[in-house]
């Protein structure tokens, strides 16, 4: 059943006056079965604790005019007579002329008055005023379009149920891409569809964590019975198809199980079991070609955070199934471009029959693996190619194995153990290893110009990266988890931060999380009312699992959620348009990625239970307008699960613009005033569960 924003939580002042903030009616909780119905605004209430209070009715006319792309301008009279319309247009034209004259006059006056000593400072301020002028003129020009263009966005056709912009294999083939590159990400002009992606016909809300880790609804993912039992990654066969569900198990016909396998890896490193990986400095693991996430699911109980990456797959996607289980995953490949992670990001890389031919293309895939691996980190490879008994009978396999072994040595990786089909290397923790290699050794060290700390889908490089990074710190010398999340003074200095800044950021997000939960808990538990004699509902620790933070900054939201005991994982995104604290977030032991929000995020539809965006609208609108606010919100809709929640915190005019656009997205929305800051607002939205009608 769909959950409207509220169902009569007590504590709201209700007045019969039509001019009061809230109407006294409460909508019935009905399921949205028909696509053709008109989506009306919710007339329900939200209960709110200090320091928030409700400010506007949902989807009601804002005090700011809103354009189609979501930017605001001050409103004018809304009368219908032709004379008033002409007067309004005349006033707009006169305003435009006055603004231009004032801008030119101010520019002339400033030019003749500035001195040599203050020229640089004034120029920067003048440049900001110029950018603001361009923004204001844009808003004035768009105002004449009026609210008539704010029409609801149509739903995509059935073929786009699993639509991911930037991944179009057939189009890439037509453009001449081959040799695996046709599966690469290609974000060109027009790659985004202007429609809302609907779930499959029999889609069901995922089971709550931790039940959802072991059982998912088969209708929620695109997969065939044959793909369930197909060969491939080590963990792909650890699942069973049972009517309308897929259940995962650790036992396997091919292996003793994930638990024994991870125990073996720990012993090969020299540890008693996988629980001791934390003490060895391991916290974050990049699982390449992860199967369906069983390796990461097991390690999660050991406080280890595993990030799954795999190629785009139109059906039977490893990434889609892993996300459906409530585990971290995103589309990523080694085909031709660097991953959107900084150098020295992960404590361990794991590849179990992952499909990457490490010996191909002169070892360039191994170079990229080395780039994202921290000093002292581990590279674990399980493959038939590493089995001694196999390659002794097959000269070609022996040749391939010898290449990988020798190349790893040139990368300054130490082969510390080899058992059956599994090999474990340890990356050097000393930069001096590279200079001690034989002269002319390949690959060379990257120059400072080549060694970009946080590349964004750059072509793969044929040189060793990360050696110029200030974050070159061996994993053994870092604090172990969970102390690692609180970086010390010396570590923060590497990022140009003071410890007080991190303390303030953490405290602010602790308060924000408490307030968010005071907002959302009554709404979610209103679906499960207390029966006479029952105890109060347990805390909603598992009402969200997959969380996306679109503007992560230092990772404070992630830290606050974990400290509050929420069983969530957070995809921390650092926008390419803002300050780059991505290495900081990763060094705190969290999952994080670099992304341009004018492009589609590399994941499947219906990925996240909650999307959080603090200051993102201000950040994006301060740039030259490469995309509209509506583009951004439409992408959020694609990423959000039905009945999922959106929390946007930003300046009041931008929040009101976004709220008006939620009409087009068919979201239930409320604007909340922050009493401690009159210039900012919260926008709380829920995506309804629209069902596609089955075709006969």
Q: Which residues contact 83 (CB under 8 A, 6 or more apart)?
A: none
* Residue 146, in any domain of the structure: no
Where among 402, 436, 470 does a domain terminate? 436
Mean pLDDT of the chain: 80
Residue 237: other Cβ atoms inside 10 A: 21
With a pLDDT cut of 90, the percent of the chain lying above it is 57
Residue 37 banded pLDDT, cuts 50, 70, 90: very low
Domain range enclosing 579:
483-527+539-687
Residue 38: what pLDDT? 43
The tens digit of pLDDT for each residue in 657-674 reads 999 999 999 999 999 998
What pLDDT digit, counting tens, does each position of 417-463 carry?
999 999 999 999 999 999 999 999 999 999 998 999 999 999 999 99
Q: Which two tokens stand for residue 332?
A: 């990523």
- Give the chain's domain count: 2
Same domain, residue pair 496 and 391? no
Q: In angstroms, rounded to a whole number, what is the distance separating the alpha carbons of residues 329 and 326?
A: 9
Cβ atoms of 690 and 32 within 8 Å: the answer is yes
**Any domain includes 500:** yes
Residue 519 covered by a domain = yes
The residue whose two tokens read 């602010």 is 508
The runs of H, that is alpha helices, within 479-555 are 489-493, 499-525
Question: Are 395 and 505 in a shared domain?
Answer: no
Beta-carbon-side half-sphere exposure of residue 581 (alpha carbons within 13 Å) = 20
- Residues β-bridged to residue 380: 350, 424
Q: For 250-259, 287-296, 344-353, which range has the lowest pLDDT when averaged over its residues?
A: 250-259
Same-domain check for residues 359 and 500: no
Nearest-5° angle of CA 32, CA 666, CA 144?
Answer: 155
Residue range 279-293, pLDDT digits in tens: 999 999 999 999 889
Does 568 lie in the same domain as 508?
yes
Residue 334 covered by a domain: yes
Whether 40 maps to a domain, the answer reads no
User: Residue 598 belongs to a domain with what CATH number?
Assistant: 3.40.50.150
216 assigned to some structural domain: no
Lowest mean pLDDT among 238-247, 263-272, 300-309: 238-247
431 with 497, same domain: the answer is no
d(CA 259, CA 458): 37
Task: Return the minimum-mean-pLDDT range out of 94-108, 375-389, 647-661.
Answer: 94-108
Are 496 and 635 in a shared domain? yes
115 part of a folded domain: no
Q: Based on the fold, state whether residues 487 and 432 are members of the same structural domain.
A: no
Show the CA angle centred on residue 16, arms to residues 10 and 20, nearest 5°: 80
DSSP conformational letter for 8: -
Residues 553 and 610 in one domain: yes
Do 385 and 294 belong together in one domain? yes
pTM of the model: 0.80
Alpha helical stretches, state H, 388-469: 388-391, 395-410, 432-435
Of 181-185, 385-389, 467-471, 535-539, the least confident: 535-539
pLDDT band for position 256 (cuts 50, 70, 90)? low
Give the count of alpha carbons within 13 A of 584, CB side only. Answer: 26
In degrees to the nearest 10, what's the CA dihedral of 55, 58, 60, 63?
30
Q: Among 436, 451, 466, which residue terminates a domain?
A: 436
Question: At residue 293, what are phi and psi to the nearest 5 degrees?
Answer: 85, 10
| Four-residue CA torsion sign, 487, 488, 490, 496 | positive
Distances (CA, A) of 172 to 169, 185, 258, 594, 633: 5, 9, 37, 24, 27
Compute and round to an integer the Cα radius of gyration of the chain: 27
For residue 374, being part of any structural domain is answered with: yes
Does residue 567 share a domain with residue 495?
A: yes
- Where residue 1 falls among pLDDT bands split at 50, 70, 90? very low
The secondary element (H helix, E strand) that includes residue 286 is strand 284-288
Residues 489 and 628 in one domain: yes
The residue out of 436, 468, 492 marking a domain boundary is: 436
Closest by CA position to 681, among listed 19, 52, 47: 52
Residue 284: burial class (beta carbons within 10 Å; 0-12, 13-18, 19+): buried
Whether 623 and 499 map to the same domain: the answer is: yes
């Amino acid at each position: 059943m769909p959950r409207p924003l509220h169902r009569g939580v007590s504590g709201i002042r209700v007045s019969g006056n039509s001019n009061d903030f809230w109407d006294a009616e409460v909508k019935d909780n009905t399921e949205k079965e028909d696509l053709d119905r008109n989506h009306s605004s919710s007339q329900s209430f939200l209960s709110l604790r200090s320091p928030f209070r409700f400010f506007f009715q949902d989807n009601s006319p804002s005090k700011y005019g809103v354009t189609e792309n979501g930017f605001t301008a001050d409103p004018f009279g809304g009368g219908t007579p032709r004379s008033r319309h002409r007067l309004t247009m005349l006033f707009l034209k006169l305003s435009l002329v006055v603004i231009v004259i004032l801008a030119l006059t101010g520019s002339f006056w400033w030019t003749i008055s500035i001195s040599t000593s203050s020229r640089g400072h004034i120029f920067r301020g003048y440049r900001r005023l110029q950018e603001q002028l361009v923004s204001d003129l844009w808003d004035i020009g768009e105002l004449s379009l009026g609210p008539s263009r704010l029409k609801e966005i149509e739903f995509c056709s059935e073929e786009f149920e699993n639509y991911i912009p930037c991944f179009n294999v057939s189009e890439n083939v037509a453009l001449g891409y081959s040799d695996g590159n046709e599966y690469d990400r290609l974000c060109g002009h027009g790659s985004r569809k202007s429609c809302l992606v609907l779930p499959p016909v029999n889609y069901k809300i995922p089971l709550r964590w931790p039940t959802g880790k072991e059982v998912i609804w088969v209708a929620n993912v695109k997969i065939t019975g044959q793909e369930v039992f197909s060969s491939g990654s080590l963990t792909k066969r650890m699942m069973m198809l049972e009517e309308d569900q897929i259940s995962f198990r650790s036992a396997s016909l091919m292996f003793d199980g994930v638990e024994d396998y991870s125990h073996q890896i720990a012993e090969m490193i020299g540890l008693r079991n996988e629980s001791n990986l934390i003490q060895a400095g391991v916290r974050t693991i990049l699982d390449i070609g992860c199967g369906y996430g069983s390796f990461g699911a097991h390690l999660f109980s050991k406080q280890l955070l595993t990030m799954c990456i795999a190629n785009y797959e139109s059906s039977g996607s490893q990434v889609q199934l892993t996300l459906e289980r409530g585990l971290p995953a995103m589309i990523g490949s080694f085909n031709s471009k660097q991953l959107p992670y900084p150098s020295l990001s992960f404590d361990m890389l794991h590849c179990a029959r992952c499909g990457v031919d490490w010996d191909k293309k002169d070892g360039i895939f191994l170079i990229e693996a080395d780039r994202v691996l921290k000093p002292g980190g581990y590279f674990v490879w399980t493959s038939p190619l590493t089995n001694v008994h196999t390659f002794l009978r097959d000269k070609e396999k022996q040749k391939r194995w010898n290449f990988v072994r020798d190349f790893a040595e040139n990368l300054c990786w130490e082969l510390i153990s080899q058992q059956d089909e599994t090999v474990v290397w340890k990356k050097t923790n000393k930069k001096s290893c590279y200079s001690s290699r034989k002269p002319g050794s390949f690959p060379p060290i990257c120059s400072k110009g080549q060694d970009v700390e946080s590349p964004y889908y750059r072509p793969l490089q044929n040189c060793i990266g990360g050696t110029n990074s200030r974050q070159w710190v061996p994993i053994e010398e870092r604090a172990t988890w969970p102390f690692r999340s609180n970086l010390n003074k010396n570590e923060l200095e590497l990022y140009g931060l003071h410890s007080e800044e991190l303390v303030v950021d953490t405290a602010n997000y602790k308060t924000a999380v408490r307030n968010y939960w005071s907002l959302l808990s009554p709404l979610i538990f209103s679906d499960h009312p207390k029966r006479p004699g029952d105890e109060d509902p347990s805390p909603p620790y598992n009402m969200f699992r997959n969380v996306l933070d679109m503007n992560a900054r230092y990772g404070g939201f992630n830290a606050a959620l974990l400290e509050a005991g929420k069983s969530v994982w957070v995809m921390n995104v650092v926008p390419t348009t803002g300050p780059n604290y991505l290495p900081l977030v990763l060094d705190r032991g969290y999952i994080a990625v670099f992304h341009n929000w004018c492009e589609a995020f590399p994941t499947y539809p219906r990925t996240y239970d909650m999307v959080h965006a603090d200051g993102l609208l201000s950040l994006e609108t301060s740039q030259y307008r490469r995309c509209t606010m509506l583009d951004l919100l439409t992408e959020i809709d694609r990423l959000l699960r039905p009945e999922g929640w959106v929390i946007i915190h930003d300046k009041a005019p931008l929040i009101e613009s976004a709220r008006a656009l939620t009409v087009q997205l068919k979201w239930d929305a409320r604007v909340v005033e922050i009493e401690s800051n009159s210039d900012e607002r919260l926008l709380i939205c829920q995506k309804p569960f629209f069902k596609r009608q089955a075709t006969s």
